[in-house]
Amino acid sequence: MPFLGDGDCYFQGTRVGQFTMEESSKKRPFFSSIDDMVEEEYYDEQLTEKKRHLTHEQVRMLEKSFEEENKLEPERKTELAKKLGLQPRQVAVWYQNRRARWKTKTLERDYNHLKSCYDILKSDYKSIAKENENLKAEIFLEHFKEPLSTRVNVFVTSLVLYVFISLTKKLEPKDVLGTSIVGQDSNSAIGEVGDIPAPSDKIKVEDHLSVGHGGSAVVDDYDGPQLLDSGDSYFPDDSYLSEYVVVYVDRSEEDDGGDDGHKHFRYPFETTDHEDNDALGWWVWS
DNA sequence: TTGTGTTTTATTGCCTCC
DNA sequence: GGAGGCAATAAAACACAA
């Protein structure tokens, strides 16, 4: 006979469950061997106690009760057990399993709902992205409708400016530690060459270097010079501009004729040239 | 009939609350 | 510490195809 460990219960020669000594004494008869079990008077009773499904009527009543309240109060449990001819424990177990099934179903439903929401959003995103691409292409084509001379002019000017700025940076005065002193004192170094606006001077810059200059960049109240770019400027690095270009602005320049109360300088390094070139940026004094 | 997958009933161990 | 809930799991019952 095989060794039967604590809690192994047998029914008709097969293991029917595991119980601790304590539990088995309380709930079900404990058989230490198959022979013991066969000899027990309880054997016949076990046949009727064999696990079986509840009747349709019992399930119907339990379902109805569950619909009303999915938690089982002790009084309700006793009442239902009495009414259905079941052990209170069976009713409790049924509720437990029913809640588990309900939870699984709910999770499944929630998952499907979220998935459909996700699919809709994904589809929306795709159509918006496509529309965005179309608009970009439209803007690109619009740009090439401009005269070639204008485009070349913008490009060359940008290039010259970039080279100029790069050279200026290399030639800038340095202190004994090799640190640039530009910007440390508005009255020193390059500041002596031109007319650097004091930090308190309000300078606004608009970028007309960008393609599609119809909508110039936003201008704010930043205390120092700045270049605002509408996003597609030819400048390789706008930070150069904000740092240096302002040195060459001529504050004595007359108004350019605009009625906005500002003076516009089309070229940072050509303070008096008012020749038309709408593709270029200008500085604005406020 | 048998193998296999699914559903239902029941147990176990852990956790929280009172 | 006991009662009750829950997740994980076992095992019986059931369904169904081959």
pLDDT over threshold 50, residue A125 = yes
Assess contact for A227 and A241: CB atoms under 8 A: yes
Rounded CA-CA distance A223/A203 in Å is: 7
pLDDT over threshold 50, residue A247 = no
pLDDT over threshold 80, residue A162 = yes
Extract the tokens encoding A204.
Answer: 């606004």
**pLDDT score of A173:** 63
Separation in Å: C14 C1' and A56 CA: 14
Residues lining strand C, beta carbon within 7 angstroms: A 11, 14-18, 50-53, 71-72, 74, 92, 95-96, 99-100, 103
Q: Nearest residue to C12 (CA, C1')?
A: A51
**pLDDT score of A231:** 32
Rounded CA-CA distance A263/A256 in Å is: 6
Give residue for tokens 């009747």: A55
A56 touches strand B (CB under 7 A): no
DSSP state of A282: E
**pLDDT score of A179:** 55
Percentage with pLDDT > 90 across chain A = 25
SS3 content of chain A, % helix, strand, coil (to 5): 50, 10, 45
**pLDDT score of A50:** 64
Mean pLDDT for A91-106 is: 93
pLDDT over threshold 60, residue A164 = yes
Distance between the two ends of chain A, CA-based, in angstroms?
A: 104
Separation in Å: C15 C1' and A76 CA: 34
Closest residue by Cα to residue A182 from A170, A193, A190, A192: A190
Separation in Å: C2 C1' and A89 CA: 16
pLDDT over threshold 70, residue A9 = no
A94 touches strand B (CB under 7 A): yes
Separation in Å: C4 C1' and A92 CA: 10
A27 touches strand B (CB under 7 A): yes
The residue that leads in pLDDT, A250 or A54, is A54
SS3 A215: coil
Q: Residue A85: pLDDT band by 50, 70, 90 thresholds?
A: very high
Rounded CA-CA distance A115/A241 in Å is: 50
Q: Residue A94: pLDDT band by 50, 70, 90 thresholds?
A: very high
Determine the nucleotide nearest to A70 by Cα–C1' distance.
C5
pLDDT over threshold 90, residue A156 = no
A55 touches strand B (CB under 7 A): no
Separation in Å: B14 C1' and A99 CA: 19
Give the bridge partners for A206, in sequence order: A282
Rounded CA-CA distance A157/A117 in Å is: 51
**pLDDT score of A134:** 95
**pLDDT score of A262:** 40
A42: Cβ contacts below 8 Å, ≥ 6 apart? A29
Of A48-52, A62-66, A89-93, where does mean pLDDT reach its minimum? A48-52
Q: Which of A45-59, A152-166, A167-181, A212-226 has the highest mean pLDDT?
A: A152-166
Give whole-number Cα distances, A259 to A214, A256, A263, A285, in Å: 18, 9, 9, 13
**pLDDT score of A157:** 84
Separation in Å: C1 C1' and A97 CA: 26
Phi and psi of A93, rounded to 5°? -65, -40
Q: Nearest residue to C8 (CA, C1')?
A: A100
pLDDT over threshold 80, residue A40 = no
**pLDDT score of A174:** 61
A194 touches strand B (CB under 7 A): no
Separation in Å: B12 C1' and A113 CA: 34
Bases of strand B lying below 7 A from some protein CB: 8-13
Separation in Å: B5 C1' and A99 CA: 23
Assess contact for A182 and A192: CB atoms under 8 A: no
Mean pLDDT for A51-68 is: 90
